[in-house]
Amino acid sequence: MALRQNPEVSRFHHWSPADELEVHWFIHCFSDSFRIVPGEWKQLGVFRREDNAIVGDCGFRVNDDGEAEISYTVAPEFRRRGFASEAVSALVDSLLSRPKITCAIARITPDNLPSAGLLAKLGFARDPNLSKTITTNGRTIPVLVFRREATSG
């Protein structure tokens, strides 16, 4: 709850929990299994190895066309330590290893330069044809879409 309500984090997300009950609902609904159901979001925790402290999360959903949309968050106090790089790399590699998933996409705001750099490092390229605006928390904001194709072979 603290992670999603942090202003440095919530400005990049569509959802911020109202209370702890909503957090428990979120965890129950979106992380009950790794079984992929088209259109259904899954959320996975990102934990620090040495003490199992939660440092962030990764989410994904796959559509009927085999496109996997990913999201990720790292708490501000844990940024720039490799957590996002390791977690997103593992998530994307796992998703793109599945035969029915053809690509992964991530949507970020134009001012989120660290995410743009991370995605480029992980082999994503900006797809200007998919960039658009979204409305979240009563604000309309631009988003950039980054895409990475699955490799065959």
Q: Which of 12-21, 68-77, 80-89, 105-114 is least confident?
A: 12-21
Residues 6+ apart with CB under 8 A from 76: 6, 8, 9
Range(s) of the domain holding residue 51: 2-149
The whole-chain average pLDDT of the chain stands at: 82
Which amino acid would we find at residue 143? V
- Nearest Cα neighbor of 10 from 89, 76, 78, 79 is 76
Decide: 106 and 115 in contact? Cβ < 8 Å.
yes
Which among 17, 25, 97, 88 has a CA at the least distance from the CA of 55? 88
DSSP 150: P
Q: What is the pTM assigned to this prediction? A: 0.77
Angle of CA points 68, 70, 75, to nearest 5°: 170
Give the residue from 131, 138, 86, 73 showing the smallest Cα distance to 107.
131
Q: What's the CA gap between 45 and 96, in Å, rounded?
A: 19
Confidence of residue 35 (pLDDT cuts 50, 70, 90): confident
| Structure confidence by residue, pLDDT tens digits, 127-148 | 988 778 777 667 788 889 999 9
* Alpha helices, DSSP H, located in 11-76: 20-30
We report the CATH number of the domain holding residue 39 as 3.40.630.30
Number of independent structural domains in the chain: 1
